[in-house]
Structure 1
Amino acid sequence: MSEMSSIQDSLQSKLDQLECHFTWDIKKEDLGLNDILNRLEEQAKMGLGGEQGVARTHCSLGYVKFLLGRKEEALTDLLKSETLIKEKLGVNCDKNLIVTYGNFAWINYHMKNYTECESYLMKLQKIHERFSIEPSTVLDSEVLGEKGWAYLKFSRKYYDKAVEVFQKAVELDPENSEWNAGCAKALFRTETGTLCTVDSPAIKQLERAIEIDPDDDATRVLLGVKLLFCSKKLMNESEKMIETALNGSPEHPHVIRYVGKYFRNQGFVDRSIELLKKAVEKSPKSGFIHHQLAMCYKTKKINLLKEKRKGNWPEVNNARNQCIYYLEKATSIKDSFVFAMSELALQYGEKRDLPKAEKLFDRTFKTAREKNDSVHVVHYYYAEFQQYCNRREDLAIIHYTECLKVSPHTSEGERSATKLKNIAQRYLNDDPDDWKANEILGLIYQMKGEMFGDTKSYAATSGNEEDDESLSNLCEINCKI
């Protein structure tokens, strides 16, 4: 074995014991690197999270830029992270440098700067000796907190890991506002609607985070949204939370975007559009905000169609075109945005550009399958496309069924079950012994545990057929516009 090879092996063994992005099992194939890069750069530019938050953002940027092959820029971001930490904390900053120095060591190793790599390993060793912590057993809350934020910001696939890590950080440092807020946001994102109750872990943690930091409007707005989602009886409390958050942080993009979503869900679409347009001015590279604006215009389009006013087709066309515009912006910013891609393909279908819709659905299925993420979402949207735009109910049944099988307890799975129930009901109305209808109901029973003994009991549990008829009519009207 050559001397150089021996040095590399020795360094590799030490590097593997570090706590940093390179050892947290973050897989490049799980990440939309350009989207993450845009979001992190915006967060750093806007100073979100204060000096420590910006330092943490630059540390993550260093890792992302390394994965993009921009190694010199990666080192520059890590240097910014180190400088900010030292300026903020002075002599008491050692624990806060563990992750940054770990990333420094790894990147210098990959750049074959072995002397620099060894230098950072020595710095880390001195930190561990000072705190009597072995590198392989680091459980310091600062490291866990940084790990939790990385999981939360990098990919929805890591949200469960973020919850687990933040909970450990909170156990070690129960009064730390950052770790409590991170834990609350991770739980908010992982807790599905079917599991949401007024005493859910997410709501309890959101309340705890606000108790520790009453000025955290970004967390307060999430609590407001969550309360209303869990119970309409909490509307007054929810509205108070939303109003307080907006008054306290009227320029904060995270506050504005969730307030905008809240107003849209409450039926105040124009107010939501107004807020989200302000937010997108401050965060022009936010795929999320562009997507929310698109959803506002979709809602506006549907409301206009339901009015059935003569002469309002120009308004309908404008709303639909605005919806498509913002969806196209969202998918150009984040090229793996499966939800926005699926919605955009459906909008193309409603506009009767069926080849363009089919092509985008093909790409969306490919993206979702490659990332093994949200495949059920694409099945649901494609089923709607087949049912309402392509008039292929046989294909719609296949894809609603696939969605239900893959994710029965998601909102798309729930809606697929409802769509299938309504289709089955129509079959049963024509023929109570229809084998296809009974096969569909049998599948729903198998997946959802729902028993339909006869058509009367079935009708009592089925979804609203008027919703299906309404959407079908809307698509027909769209075809004429």
Structure 2
Amino acid sequence: MSGISEEALKTHLLQLKCHFTWELLVKHTELEDRLNDQVTFLVTKNKYMVYNLLAYMMHLKGDYPKAIAILEKAEEMIKENYPDGTDHRYLVTYGNYAWVFYYFNQYEESQKYIDKVEQIHKELKDTSDRAEIYGEKAWALLTFSADHYEEAKQCFEKALELEPEDPEWNSGYATAVYRLEGFNGRQCPASECRSIELLERAVEKNPNDAVVKALLALKLLDLNRSDEGKTYIEEALEQAPSSPYVLRYVAKFYRRAGMVDEALRVLETAINLTPTSGFLHYQIGLCYRKKYLTKK
């Protein structure tokens, strides 16, 4: 390696804000399957974030060529969905490239991507505080482990401080708070549930986000407002009838509302789309358990 020592390179790498410096904990063996499903089924301009996560997973497996190929897809997605040339959206992807090439012992390539990150920051002429970085970190934390939910919430808060009207960060923040309120089966009293207003705001900011509508429906059900919840669940189902991420919450709503047969029909559709989903198999089990207990 010419021009820079490995030790100096590592020092620069540790200063990058990307998946390799976010101390992500992988707790679920099915995470790679979940990310591949998201690549297939998620409808969002920010799908490049899923590719970034998937590339990080390939690094954990030691498959650096595949990680690089996936990062190329992330780069393509940014170019396709943000043709205005907003280079700040490449910061995390380029940081990931730098780390992967470092582990792949291609130090000159690694340095090249460090230089790209530094050049973007120079062009931006501002601090390294970017809503996109906080938001992407938050989604990564939310995806990897429930242990990260609190930190994910804090990252979404920082993203919203910089871009309070952004639909993606509003949806993410509402989702993080919703999950925290239900963590380990907890149910918060109606007076203490912040997620209801956050979910309503997220739906207002992004009416096309069917997943957030389904989460709002579930929260309304928790608060004994099932009729309102059913309206949102029907809207979500109409908007995204073939999305396993919507169907899973629709089924959960139906089961908890006592509509077990309807829930099973929805789960059958979802399981045909994502057959390895542990969440869906668990929900099917809960449905049959409820049917069994009802007959006793």
TM, length-normalised to structure 2: 0.94
Residues 55 and 80 in structure 1, CA contact (< 8 A), matched pair in contact too: yes
3-state DSSP class of the match of 2:81? helix
The alignment status of 1:148 with 2:146, answered yes or no, reads: no
CA shift in 2, pair 1:91/1:113, >3 Å = farther
Aligned AA for 2:260? V
Q: What does residue 43 of structure 2 align with?
A: 49
Query: 1:154-174 CA distances to partner (integer Å, 9 max, x unpaired)?
Result: 111101111000011111111
Q: What does residue 352 of structure 1 align with?
A: none
- 2:172 aligns with one of 176, 182, 186: 182
Separation in structure 2 between the aligned mates of residue 12 and residue 293 of structure 1, nearest angstrom: 47
CA shift in 2, pair 1:83/1:130, >3 Å = same
- 1:31 aligns with one of 13, 20, 27: 27
Aligned AA for 1:44? V
- 1:171 aligns with one of 161, 183, 195: 161
Pairing of 1:23-172 with structure 2 (within 5 A) = 23-27=21-25, 30-32=26-28, 34-46=29-41, 48-50=42-44, 52-133=45-126, 138-172=128-162
Separation in structure 1 between the aligned mates of residue 38 and residue 133 of structure 2, nearest angstrom: 20
Separation in structure 1 between the aligned mates of residue 259 and residue 231 of structure 2, nearest angstrom: 16
3-state DSSP class of the match of 1:215? coil
Q: What does residue 19 of structure 1 align with?
A: 17
Per-residue deviation at 1:235?
A: 2.0
Q: What does residue 385 of structure 1 align with?
A: none
Per-residue deviation at 1:207?
A: 0.6
Separation in structure 2 between the aligned mates of residue 259 and residue 198 of structure 1, nearest angstrom: 25
The alignment status of 1:255 with 2:246, answered yes or no, reads: yes
Per-residue deviation at 1:198?
A: 5.6
Separation in structure 2 between the aligned mates of residue 15 and residue 133 of structure 1, nearest angstrom: 20
Pairing of 1:408-427 with structure 2 (within 5 A) = none
Unaligned runs of 5+ in 1: 307-481
Per-residue deviation at 1:17?
A: 0.7
Separation in structure 1 between the aligned mates of residue 151 and residue 189 of structure 2, nearest angstrom: 20
Query: 1:32-88 CA distances to partner (integer Å, 9 max, x unpaired)?
Result: 2x4110000011022x132x3321111110001100111111111001101111122
Q: What does residue 234 of structure 2 align with?
A: 243
Per-residue deviation at 1:132?
A: 1.9
- In our comparison, the structure showing a higher alpha carbon Rg is 1
Unaligned runs of 5+ in 2: none
CA shift in 2, pair 1:223/1:7, >3 Å = same
Aligned AA for 1:239? K
Separation in structure 1 between the aligned mates of residue 254 and residue 53 of structure 2, nearest angstrom: 33
Separation in structure 2 between the aligned mates of residue 199 and residue 219 of structure 1, nearest angstrom: 20
Separation in structure 1 between the aligned mates of residue 116 and residue 84 of structure 2, nearest angstrom: 14
The alignment status of 1:224 with 2:220, answered yes or no, reads: no
CA shift in 2, pair 1:113/1:171, >3 Å = same
Per-residue deviation at 1:128?
A: 0.4
Per-residue deviation at 1:288?
A: 0.5
CA shift in 2, pair 1:49/1:148, >3 Å = farther
3-state DSSP class of the match of 1:90? coil
Separation in structure 1 between the aligned mates of residue 232 and residue 125 of structure 2, nearest angstrom: 44
Q: What does residue 278 of structure 1 align with?
A: 269
Query: 1:396-432 CA distances to partner (integer Å, 9 max, x unpaired)?
Result: xxxxxxxxxxxxxxxxxxxxxxxxxxxxxxxxxxxxx
Query: 1:338-390 CA distances to partner (integer Å, 9 max, x unpaired)?
Result: xxxxxxxxxxxxxxxxxxxxxxxxxxxxxxxxxxxxxxxxxxxxxxxxxxxxx
Which structure has more helix as a fraction of its residues?
1
3-state DSSP class of the match of 1:294? helix
Pairing of 1:369-380 with structure 2 (within 5 A) = none
Residues 198 and 227 in structure 1, CA contact (< 8 A), matched pair in contact too: no
Q: Percent identity?
A: 36
Aligned AA for 1:19? K
Separation in structure 1 between the aligned mates of residue 132 and residue 46 of structure 2, nearest angstrom: 12
Per-residue deviation at 1:6?
A: 6.2
The alignment status of 1:287 with 2:278, answered yes or no, reads: yes
Separation in structure 2 between the aligned mates of residue 198 and residue 284 of structure 1, nearest angstrom: 39
TM, length-normalised to structure 1: 0.59
Q: What does residue 8 of structure 1 align with?
A: 6
CA shift in 2, pair 1:133/1:109, >3 Å = farther
- 1:269 aligns with one of 244, 260, 266: 260
Per-residue deviation at 1:301?
A: 1.7
Q: Say what the alpha-carbon RMSD is for the aligned residues.
A: 1.7
Residues 66 and 74 in structure 1, CA contact (< 8 A), matched pair in contact too: yes
The alignment status of 1:298 with 2:289, answered yes or no, reads: yes
Query: 1:99-121 CA distances to partner (integer Å, 9 max, x unpaired)?
Result: 00000001111111011001101
